[in-house]
Each structure stands twice: as structure tokens, then as C-alpha cells.
Amino acid sequence: MKIRKAVIPAAGWGTRLLPATKSVPKEMLPIVDKPAIQYVVEEVVNSGITDIIIVTTEQKTAIKTHFTQNLDLEGFLKKFNKNDQLKQVRKIASMAKFTFVNQFGPYGNGTPVLSAKEEVGDEPFVVIWGDEFIYSTPPRLKQILDVYEKYEKPVISAVRVGKDKISRYGIADISLIKDNIYKINRIVEKPKPEEAPSDLAAHGAYILPSKIFQILENLELGKGGELWLPDAIQKLIETEDVLACEIQNGKYYDTGNKLEYIKTNIDFALRDSEMKPELEKYLRDIIKN
């Protein structure tokens, strides 16, 4: 079955970035000149999916405002012949069909997925976080969609991580299928480096069957009294094959972390041909002095 819908969880408080996130959703913090969540939406759209469900909260009105047409702003830009900006603003609201759902239920990253149950319905779908992404060619999501179309099994994107970062992620115990495609035997959540079954972190983007909703509904709360998507995926692994696709030609960015957020801005600014020369000079001067 063709994947038609993507769920983007964007309901977290963003406590790692306080006090900035007290009033501005972490997903709306800019990467140069676009909010982080827009890069995620563009990845989804560039992978061929235009039905997007964003799960958020009543406090995060800025996300809905960003992806909704603003006729007053468009009128202002048109009046003063700011045509490039007008084109950019119009494109945001027209990229996809957006549905906004308020999160309900216990805390944990499984809750926003379960909150999208009615909008997704009885079909496989994508889950992709709103504050992290992989910059790759082709897009990360397109890579795992290609794997899904070939094998017709749930797929999780995966990246290799250094020994110093293994304890931050869910690490997959894997069996090689072919090239960069693996069968996941289990996922060990945030293991010590010496206890990790591999160096392959499986996270970020998921293609899941609708049965994941039933699993989440019947799942006992896990660590910290929270509802965890990885726990539900582990239950899924017990009943059917779940694959990992090691993403090719990509770099992972976590914009919900202060240091990584700064690094992401620097990387993307250096990709801008106008900013790159002066920024490179500035960075060299900092290192020199």
C-alpha cells in the first residue's frame, strides 16, 4: 500500500532550550531563515507525501500560524514589490495539506503518535520528528520509502554513531539483509557503549503499520511513567519483521540540543553562497584570536 500520510510530533516543551522555548516552540526556532520544522516538512514533501498531520498543543499556536496562509502579510509584500519574499511565504502554506491535532494522554513520545490515530486511519504511515532531521540526497524519508516499497515491511531510518554518543540513542541489534538494509532483532534504548549490540542508531523517521496504534493503546507506561514509541516498536518486532535503512550521503542534525542547534545554524549558513565568504572569515578570526 502506498504511503500517503506523515505524522510530525511537535508537542514537547523543549526544556533543553529554555528560556527561549518558554514562548517559542522549539520546532519554530530558526535555522538561518527557516524554522526547523519547515526543513522536516520539506523533506516529507520532497519525498512525495503531501498529507501532513502535525501533533502539537494549544500553547504552540505559532506552528499552525506558520503553515497557514497569511493574506495580510501577502498583501503587504505585494504592495511593496517584495516578490521573492511573497513567493516564499505563499509556498509554505501550499506545500501540503496540513491537519493540526492536539496531543492528549500521558507524557512520552508515543503519545503524539497515538493522538493522530483518527486522522491516519487504517493504513501505514510515516512518523518523523519536528525538531531533528538528516540532510541527505536523496532525502532520508525517500530512502526509507524506497525500502518500504521493495520489502513491504515497517522501516526505521538509521545512522552510525560514535562510541561517545551511543548512550544517547536506541541502538539496533541487527542482521544484514542487503547493502544498507538490516532486519532489527531488538532495539536497546540508550545502552552503555560496552553493552551496545552495534553502532547503528535507529530513530528519526519511521514507516509504521496502523496496528502500532493498538499496541500503544495497550502498552504499559515505561521509563519515567511515560508512553514510549520504542517500546511499542519492540512489541511490533515480536510479531513481524521491522527493517532498518542506514541512510546514505546524509548528516544528522538535532536542533533540540543547544550545541547541536548552533552547529546546525553554522552548517546551513555556510551552504549559503552569499553568507559563506564573510562567515568563513569570521570563524577563522575567532579561531586565530
**Predicted pLDDT of residue 32:** 94
Do 276 and 247 belong together in one domain? no
Domain count for the chain:
2
Mean pLDDT taken over the chain: 93
Give residue 169's domain range: 5-256
Name residues whose C-beta falls within 8 Å of residue 201's C-beta, 6 or more positions apart in sequence. 158, 159, 160, 161, 165, 166, 168, 169, 170, 171, 172
Do 271 and 206 belong together in one domain? no
pLDDT digit string (tens) for 27-46?
A: 999 999 999 999 999 999 99
Question: pTM to 2 decimals?
Answer: 0.93
Do 140 and 70 belong together in one domain? yes
For residue 163, pLDDT over 90 is answered with: no
Other Cβ atoms less than 10 A from the Cβ of 88: the count is 13
**Predicted pLDDT of residue 188:** 85
pLDDT band at 243; cut points 50, 70, 90: very high
Nearest to residue 161, comparing CAs of 241, 223, 254, 243? 254
Do 145 and 288 belong together in one domain? no
Arithmetic mean of pLDDT, 130-139: 89
**Predicted pLDDT of residue 226:** 87
pLDDT band at 61; cut points 50, 70, 90: very high
